[in-house]
Amino acid sequence: MMKKKKRDFEARFWSGTRKHSVTGLLEAFFQFNDLAVVKEALSAMVQCSVRRKARFSEYPEEVFHLYLSLRSLVRAGQVMAGKNKERQTAFLAAETHFSGLALGSLSEEEFRDPLQVFRKAFRKFSREDYDGFLSSLVYFSLGSSKGEENRKVIGPYLQLVKMLEAAHLLMERGAGKA
């Protein structure tokens, strides 16, 4: 049995632990964050960042916590994007029919193989692109100035939502047990 490799996903400030395995980070992320709440907050932050004189929250510490935890999730996602395909079969769904509600923003193919979401996300954007997106999103959603144009924000936002859903799906399927 192989020992799980622990890495520094820069999670110390929000999770209390510096090093995690990918599975451990996902578990910690979803212990601290509810999927629906994170997706709603992320959507509201995007809306606030592209409108003038709109602030996301009166509590900047909550925004900062979300920022730090999403940064860590992106770092874990980058590791998952590079995972060997042969080792991923335990995460594949055997079901042949999916309801629209179960899929969320994922396609049927992505629902069957959630790790595919991470591979696609990191083909489209680099980790630095996601870090820049999150930084500017927090900056503009907490201030009263207008941020980047919609087209510069929408791509990383959509990929991040898909990564959130795929990560949650992996946790539901018991990613750590494979």
Give residue-wise pLDDT tens across range 73-100.
Answer: 999 999 999 876 555 555 555 554 555 4
The structure's pTM equals 0.83
CB-based burial label for 44 (10 Å; 0-12, 13-18, 19+): middle
Give the chain's end-to-end CA distance (angstroms, integer). 11
Q: What SS3 state is found at 149?
A: coil
What phi and psi values does residue 7 have, to the nearest 5 degrees? -130, 165
Mean pLDDT for the stretch of residues 58-63 = 80
Mean pLDDT for the stretch of residues 11-23 = 85
Q: What is the pLDDT of residues 37-53, one digit of tens each?
A: 999 999 888 887 777 66
> Among residues 136, 167, 130, 165, which one has the least CA distance to residue 149?
136
CA 36 to CA 34: how far, in whole Å?
Answer: 6
